[in-house]
Structure formats: C-alpha cells, structure tokens
A = this chain, B = another copy of it.
C-alpha cells in the first residue's frame, strides 16, 4: 500500500480512526446486549454511547499507552475510559481482544469487498459499452500469438466481461466468507459472555454469527478471501496483457489513451507505451503474492496464535487497496481505450487469406477427401504463404491440382467469406450480456 497506487476510498477503511470507530461500535453494541441481559447497568450502556458516539479517538494517545502496555486493545480501552469515565469498567466484560479485532477485520474486509464489487460493476459497464461498440469490428483471433481465424473486437471484450462477471460472483461469495462476528471469549466457549451478545453485535454490524470460534475467527475464511482476490487479480493481468499485445508497434490495434503533456520516454520522444497495462501486470503480481501468506495463516496453533496478525496488518490493506486501484485503473483504461479498426483489418488481411485454411480443410473433407489428405493439401499451400513465397493463399489453392479437382473456384472463394465467422456473434452476446 503506497500512495501512488492507493485510492482514498479504500485507504479510509484501513485508517486507524475507522478502526477505532468500529472497535467502539462493537464494544458499545455489546454493552447494549449485556444491559438487555442485565449483566451491566442499562445506564452504563447509555453513557458509553453518549460519550463515545461522536468522539474522535486520539490515535497518538492510544499509541502512547500501547508503548507501555504492548497491547493495542488494552490501550484503546484505557483511552476509551478517559472519554467515557467510570462507566467504562462495564465495557469489554467477559470479552477478549480478538472478539473486537476479528469482528473488526470482518467489517473492514466486508466493506473492502463492497468497494471491490462496485469497482467491478464499473468495469463491467465499461466493458459492456465497448463490447457493443465493437461487436462487429472484425479482428484476427490469435492462438500461440499466431494468426488463427477471424473474430471481433467486441467478442474479445465479451470474453473479459464474462470473466469479470465470474470475478464479481466470486467476490460476493468471498465477502460472505469473512463477514462474520465472533464474541465468544477467551477460547470461544462463551464462558464469560452470553452468546446473545454475539448475536446482537453481529446483527448490528451487518455480519453473520460465527458458528464456532476459538478466540479467533478461523483463518480458512480469510485464506479463501485473499485467494479470491488473487484470482481476480489474475483476470486483471489477463486483460492488461491483451492490451499490451494489441499496442505492440507491429500490431497497434488498440492503444492506451495518451494525454497531452504525457511523455512516453525521457530519451525517445516518439514513444507511446502501454504503461498503464504494464503497471496493472505488476500490481496483479502483488495481489497474487498475498495469497501465499494468507494460506500459511490458516494453521494457527491450538485455539490461536498471533502469527497471522503481522501478516494481516500488511495484506489486509495491501491486497484490497492494490486490487481496488487496479480495477479502477483498468476501468479507465477500457473506457478510454483507443481502438483502431483499420489496423485490425490490415492485420487480418496480412497472411493472404491463410486464416481461412480450416474452412478449406472442412470443405475438402465434405467432398469426401480424407482428413489426412485434406490437411496435407492445405498445409502445403499454407506453408508457401508462411514462408513468403506467395502472399495469395486463394490463388495457390486454385492452382493446386488436388484441390481444384475437388473444389471449384467459386467454392474456394466461398471459404474466404468473413461473414462466416461473425454469424454467431449475436448468439454469444446473448449468452454473455443477455442481449445482442
């Protein structure tokens, strides 16, 4: 989490003030529930709310206390007592630090997930708009980086749309994984705290109740959360790499928007580099990197150890902030992406019609030629184009005695019709967008 790659919306979730605010709310809701159960005086709960509701917590003061106590929650409670007064002794009754910390982490991750889902909605909207814009813009499909058969630029974006729709569904599931509340005491037995306190706080904080905890909320939940972020980041990387490929000098079918005043290179004034998508590639590596410590955090010792804590203090903000930034950057990139249909057409025609080789192959087999022979006939002509001997695949086929014995010129020409490749674009769009 560095300022350069941080949006304030997500950073705010991880701000100390936000954290202490959530801590306060958990403690105050718990006090309400305890008051309701007759465990603490109703007046005490009221006072806690009255004094704390609008308090701005003094982060420096809390840090100062922590330097003595070496315990962050105790430091906060001490500061809270300074604000609330003697009624503060009814705060945190029978609770343990992790009740507060883990439930807070749940709230923060849930809010972070909400932001990420909103980011995805923005990205999906941009992808949909551009996909329909270019639904029928022909472009060459490539496998192995080699021209394969025609497709459309809209289909490329539909692929991304479908992928990020899955990403959205995964994030919603991941949010559910971590949005739980545990107020279960020292080892999760509710020895000193009534389970109804947990239920009350959960409801108030918009969380579900953790069925069984062991002082801590089990870390398989968080592992699943961060693993999901890693998968979403991998999808970001995929689209970023697509754009980097399209912007290559020799390809130049699309280009990142290049603002006035921008300099591509300090040394080479002619350059326009896909720096945003390269940047996204690197950011994706980071979000993916955080999956490993999250997986290692699961196997805490017995009812808990605190080894996960230092890792989570980093990956909690780092993973969510970085993915949030990446998604928003990607959205802007897609939104303003410069698309060059003419270059797409030029590239498409580049191999002298070679991209239609499969259609010719099928036409031959339909005339009764064995698959092996058909393949051999087509390949020998294709290789001439590939090798630079000719740039007119159709002419070669028409001149090939084996081929012409089976296919007329008109039949050969029919295989070179681009429309053939676009006839199911609508079908696919309906599948992906529910409309075409």
Contact = CB atoms under 8 A, between A and B. Distances in A.
A261 interface: yes
Given A189-B151, A218-B163, A271-B144, A71 B266 contact: yes
Interface string A288-309: 1111110111111111111111
A391 interface: no
A285 interface: yes
Interface string A224-268: 100110110111011011101101111100000001011111111
Given A303-B148, A309-B282, A97 B267 contact: yes
A258 to B, nearest CB: 9
A214 interface: yes
A274 to B, nearest CB: 6
A249 B282 contact: no
A17 B262 CA distance: 24
A293 B287 CA distance: 9
Contacts of A361: 267-269
State the copy count for this chain.
4
B282 A231 contact: no
Given A78-B372, A143-B215, A421 B191 contact: yes
Interface string A103-144: 000000000000000000000000000000000000011111
B292 A311 contact: no
> What's the interface size class on A, roughly?
35 or more
Interface in A285-343: 285-286, 288-293, 295-315, 318, 322
Nearest to A273: B144
18 contacts: A5-B310, A68-B261, A89-B369, A141-B302, A144-B273, A144-B275, A144-B278, A145-B245, A145-B301, A149-B186, A188-B428, A211-B432, A241-B299, A241-B301, A242-B302, A270-B357, A279-B306, A291-B291
Given A78-B372, A151-B187, A224 B170 contact: yes
